[in-house]
Chain A
């Protein structure tokens, strides 16, 4: 059955329940939890967020293995030692992976499809490999769904599109999206 009207085009025999009648049936209990948090970003992430407010992407290096963490960590997950040396990254990078999403979290259809991806950031001097690199997950703009679907977006050179300085709050959304580097 179903459909926009909630009724089949050819009615089946039986008694149809309206939505509000259904919701009033004993045995259905509605509840919406109140769960609010004030997360402490911590030492590493706070410094990173301050950097974003100033239009900088900061990473932090493990003194033991040389990995550069973006997003930063206070410790290296491989060596279990505190990270120490902060580096400012140029912000440019390449699209490592990207997908086109046609649905919202509640599975309703989006009017405009959305492209999100992981950007492999340029980190001069850091020996990264195929799966480990300084990077950021973000929205990707200026790229068409077709470019994502035919694979031509992968490897594309991109840079952050920053919000104007006066609108930045120290959040990952101080970067609106990553967009192709012109020329």
Chain B
């Protein structure tokens, strides 16, 4: 079975507000850039289009009808995935691997600056019978549950979380796409106002508007069309048990990410991810989630991520760089496009086009993201760069 490869990427936004464009125009801008990157005409060359979106983020019920047009997908097979863009990518890979689709386009966007009641939309995601009637002050308490449980289990303390926040935000200073980059010390993170104990304002990622578009092709087609294809060696996703519950939930862990990683690693033929890959882009919408992800991905031994982090093992020049882009803490959360922001950064690294935060000689990467909480759905992909494909 042929692998799928990414032969074009395009993005627009990655800024806290984008009042100059509608969400459709934002998608059109990202799509135009992706098609130019891949050298294709969407009206002639694309066999199917996939769009990741959720109606309440859009503010439009049955929003899938808005998906085809800005992508160049009218009168063509288009389908929406109500999830993160990485889930749409996994579906694109499956379409390509059927052998019936040569080129498939994947799109995800988020325009949180258009949402005037973001907190209430998160509240609307709570279980209507058990949790909404309690009227918690802000749904962010779920992230803090995970932080507390993670620290209790591992012995990490708030300074370990602050270290992740300070490092990721500082890394973003070299990344022109990182709107929330900051030169900030661990002490400044710890002393900042507490949002939801133990998380301070710098531990929690901000929001950005963004659209990301990918052009995915069958391996043989990709090699003909592109001199820099990035191959998807494996991709998996999984959802946890206890749908919507806060009670029946593994706080401080992310079993869905472990399952998704095992799926992706098996497809890629990877035993030990640390020795088989060169770096990772992982979801960090609050600082402790980067540490949790390292353990769930097998990039740190159980309960040890914070200690290895403290030793500098995950720095840009460390044993295994994690989030050279600065992650979501530096780049922001783009709703359903968040996973594709991590993927975009990994693709640019593997193509040697990351710019100021380019790593030397990287050939293989892990990309991991998730949506939730509480019932997390995680997505993990293993990518290899152009020279690994021949």
Contact = CB atoms under 8 A, between A and B. Distances in A.
Interface string A153-168: 0000000000000000
Given A41-B22, A78-B43, A31 B128 contact: yes
CB-based closest 6 A-B pairs: A42-B22, A80-B72, A34-B120, A37-B59, A36-B116, A36-B117
Interface residues of A, number: 22
Chain B: number of interface residues, binned into ranges: 35 or more
Nearest to B132: A31
Contacts of B31: 80
Interface of B: 18-25, 28, 31-32, 35, 41-43, 56, 59, 68-70, 72, 74, 111, 113-117, 120-121, 123-124, 128-129, 132-133
A29 interface: yes
Contact of B128 (A29, A40, A74, A79): A29
A73 B74 CA distance: 14
Given A29-B129, A37-B59, A75-B70, A43 B20 contact: yes
A33 B22 contact: no
A34 to B, nearest CB: 4
27 contacts: A35-B59, A35-B121, A37-B114, A37-B116, A37-B117, A38-B116, A39-B22, A39-B59, A40-B22, A40-B113, A42-B21, A43-B20, A44-B25, A45-B22, A73-B24, A74-B24, A74-B28, A75-B25, A75-B28, A75-B70, A77-B74, A78-B74, A80-B28, A80-B31, A80-B32, A80-B35, A80-B41
Contacts of A36: 115-117, 120
Given A38-B114, A40-B114, A74-B28, A80 B18 contact: no
Interface of A: 29, 31, 33-45, 73-75, 77-80
A45 B31 CA distance: 20
Given A33-B124, A39-B114, A80-B43, 12 more contacts: A29-B133, A31-B128, A31-B132, A34-B117, A37-B114, A38-B113, A74-B25, A74-B28, A75-B28, A78-B43, A80-B35, A80-B72
